[in-house]
Amino acid sequence: MNLYCATIDLKDDAKALAFAKAVDEWMTFLQGRGVIGSWRLLRRKLNLAADSYRDFLLEVEVADMTQLDQAFRLSGQQSEEVESLHQAVSALVHAADFALYRPFPDPERSERMALI
């Protein structure tokens, strides 16, 4: 399992509930196509965070890099449905940062360490 994360700030005129609905529709679409696992959207609470943290955190689980690649390929398709769902999210976003995490220690590394 890998965790793809996005920290997100909305545009000044964007509504948080509209953003949450758009994300739900987009992630449900991707999940229904089997290109992502589970996901969740979180919002900063009580504005408690350092300046480097954005307002929203989107976490998306993917089984491996192949599944993540499939998600990106699907997202880049030139279909009306994909473009509409993706645009509904991206039109509300002012800024976003992305990261990819993996479990640590990962099984491969754990096995090597056990041999030492």
- What CA–CA distance (Å, rounded) separates 70 from 33? 10
Please tell me the distance from the alpha carbon of residue 54 to that of residue 9, in angstroms, as a whole number.
5
Q: What is the pLDDT of residues 90-109, one digit of tens each?
A: 999 999 999 999 988 877 66
| pLDDT tier for residue 110 given thresholds of 50, 70 and 90 | low
Q: At 38, is the secondary structure helix, strand, or coil?
A: coil
**Mind listing the domains of the chain with CATH numbers?**
2-115 (3.30.70.100)
pLDDT for residue 59? 98
Is the sign of the CA dihedral 25, 26, 32, 38 positive or negative?
Answer: negative
Query: How do strand 93-101 and strand 56-62 relate by DSSP bridges?
Result: unpaired
End-to-end CA distance of the chain: 25
Q: Can you point out the beta strands (E) in the chain?
A: 2-10, 39-43, 56-62, 93-101
Q: What is the pLDDT of residue 106?
A: 77
Three-state DSSP class for 26? helix
User: How high is the pLDDT of residue 107?
Assistant: 72
What CA–CA distance (Å, rounded) separates 24 from 89?
9
